[in-house]
Structure 1
Amino acid sequence: MASFQVQAVLKQLGADIQTARKRRMLSVQDFCERIGVSDKTLHKLERGDGGVRIETFAMALLALGELDRLKEMLDPAHDDLGHSLDRARLPKRISRKSGPRPPALRSDEINDDGVGF
């Protein structure tokens, strides 16, 4: 059984899909044909039923012209928590291992801020 938070989000998502469908003046029958489901399945989707396949959800977004929003939902480039966790795992110090040393920077390779490039 889904948590209360998940149920609330699914219910809101379903209501948002229904609102978007109506704004686009798509009847239930037309929308069902576009996404390849029965009116019963569409009703479940718009009600926020957690048993609806994610493919059905994706097809609804495609029919509404909003599929890119699903694609971008968990884009690693915009994962602030993931970036924070990565930074937290960076070592405090990096010890020199045996092996070749990088070449020393010449003075003309260091900018005014002391950064080598």
Structure 2
Amino acid sequence: MRVESPRTRRDLGALGAHLAAGRKIHGLTQAELAERAGISRATVAALERGDGGPRLDSFLAVVRVLGANDALVAAVDPLATEYGRAHAGRADRLRVRS
């Protein structure tokens, strides 16, 4: 059983809404987006609903078709933040202990 926090549910909903808007801006149906991404239409629908179940590779395939993969990958780059740059030496560690 998967338990999601309210914030995670909100973020999934926002991501889903952005995917749906991007698909519509590109003039694609869910079926067309699914075909181009190599996934099922049901998976596209689940992503657009903000369902946390679809696999990460399915999400990335949709983002790639919508032309936002470079921005997504850059958004999670830890060196893109001041904190990340200041603590970059920690990335060399094999384990992170609290």
TM-score over 0.5 for the alignment? yes
Which residue is equivalent to 2:81? Answer: 79
1:36 aligns to 2:38 (yes or no): yes
Superposed counterparts of 1:15-94, under 5 Å? 15-84=17-86, 86=87
- CA–CA separation in structure 2 for the residues paired with 1:78 and 1:42: 30
| Partner AA of 2:28 in structure 1 | L
TM-score, normalised via structure 1 length: 0.67
**Percent of aligned positions that are identical:** 34
Task: Specify the SS of the correspondent of 2:54.
Answer: coil
| Partner AA of 2:56 in structure 1 | I
| Partner AA of 1:11 in structure 2 | G
Q: In the comparison of the two structures, how many residue pairs are matched?
A: 86
C-alpha displacement of 1:82: 2.8
- CA–CA separation in structure 1 for the residues paired with 2:35 and 2:47: 14
The structure showing larger relative contact order (alpha-carbon pairs under 8 Å, at least 6 residues apart) is: 2
Task: In structure 2, list runs of 5 or more residues that go unmatched.
Answer: 88-98
- CA–CA separation in structure 2 for the residues paired with 1:37 and 1:62: 13
- CA–CA separation in structure 2 for the residues paired with 1:74 and 1:34: 25
Which residue is equivalent to 2:93? Answer: none
- CA–CA separation in structure 1 for the residues paired with 2:49 and 2:83: 31
User: Between Structure 1 and Structure 2, which shows a larger proportion of helix residues?
Assistant: 2
Task: In structure 1, list runs of 5 or more residues that go unmatched.
Answer: 87-117
Query: Computing the radius of gyration over CA atoms, which structure comes out larger, 1 or 2?
Result: 1
| Partner AA of 1:45 in structure 2 | L
C-alpha displacement of 1:75: 1.4
